[in-house]
């Protein structure tokens, strides 16, 4: 018995193919309720990569630069055996220099000003050595809970999709006093906290640079963001 595939190929179909049956969902799919979704997860990927998406300091090439200090972040995406993860998608997002996200939900809880020249979201694809580089504005701190005076330190969000997994993590900046008062940072075991802090790496094209390598899984996995709603 044969069936024509969607790309014009003729594919064999075996009656009572138990392997195919085990790959089929046993239950009907259902839509995730809106209130169960993460409001600060990066936007769905666009159908194509635009030029300059790894430069968050401008809305588009040639546009005015956003306010604040421009910084460069570069590193490698690695698997559990420290091998490079090639051609994998990285999404990056962070608050502006005033500590405000370009997100509707943040408008209801944050009175810091928006920057008309800063969107705060970009994408990169790693090269054959698992390397990436992104340019952004160093984010400002912001208050997450006024009732307990909880301020979030400057941080940059990363979402990596590769090798069948998705890892969401945050890069913190060294020497920030607010790091040791941040509940999300303190969730990370103390012995592993240095792995979520960017390493000063001189400068790139005149911008202060940080190295931030990310391990997707395994014993040396970069600690995930266990509360990436903030």
Active site residues: 101, 142, 152, 155, 157
Q: In 63-94, which positions are buried (b, 16+ CB within 10 angstroms) versus exposed (e)? A: eeebebebbbbbbbbbbeeeebbeebbbbbbb
What is the β-pairing status of strands 207-211 and 70-78? parallel
Query: How far apart are the C-alpha atoms of 225 and 195, rounded to whole Å?
Result: 12
Burial (CB count <10 Å: 0-12, 13-18, 19+), residue 151: middle
CA dist list (Å): 40 to 43, 82, 83, 105: 8, 29, 30, 8
Q: What are phi and psi of 183, to 5 degrees?
A: -65, -35
What is the β-pairing status of strands 121-125 and 207-211? unpaired
Helix, strand, or coil here: 198? coil
């Amino acid at each position: 018995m044969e069936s024509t595939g969607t790309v014009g190929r003729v594919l064999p179909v075996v009656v009572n193919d138990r392997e195919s049956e085990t790959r089929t969902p046993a239950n009907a799919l259902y839509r995730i309720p809106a209130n169960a979704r993460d409001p600060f997860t990066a936007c769905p990927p666009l159908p194509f990569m635009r030029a300059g998406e790894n430069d968050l300091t401008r809305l588009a090439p040639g546009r005015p630069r956003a306010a604040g200090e421009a910084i460069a972040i570069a590193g490698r995406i690695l698997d559990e055996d420290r091998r490079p993860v090639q051609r994998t998608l990285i999404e990056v997002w962070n608050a502006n220099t005033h500590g405000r996200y370009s997100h509707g939900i943040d408008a209801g809880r944050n009175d810091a000003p928006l920057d008309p020249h800063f969107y705060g979201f970009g994408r990169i694809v790693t090269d054959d050595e698992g390397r990436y580089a992104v340019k952004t504005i160093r984010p400002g701190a912001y208050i997450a809970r006024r009732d307990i005076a909880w301020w979030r330190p400057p941080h940059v969000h990363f979402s990596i999709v590769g090798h069948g997994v998705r890892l969401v993590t945050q890069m913190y900046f060294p020497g920030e006093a607010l790091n040791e008062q941040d509940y999300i940072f303190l969730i990370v075991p103390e012995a592993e906290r240095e792995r979520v802090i960017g390493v000063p790496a001189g400068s790139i094209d005149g911008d202060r640079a940080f190295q931030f390598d990310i391990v997707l899984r395994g014993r040396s996995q970069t600690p995930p963001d266990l509360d990436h709603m903030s």
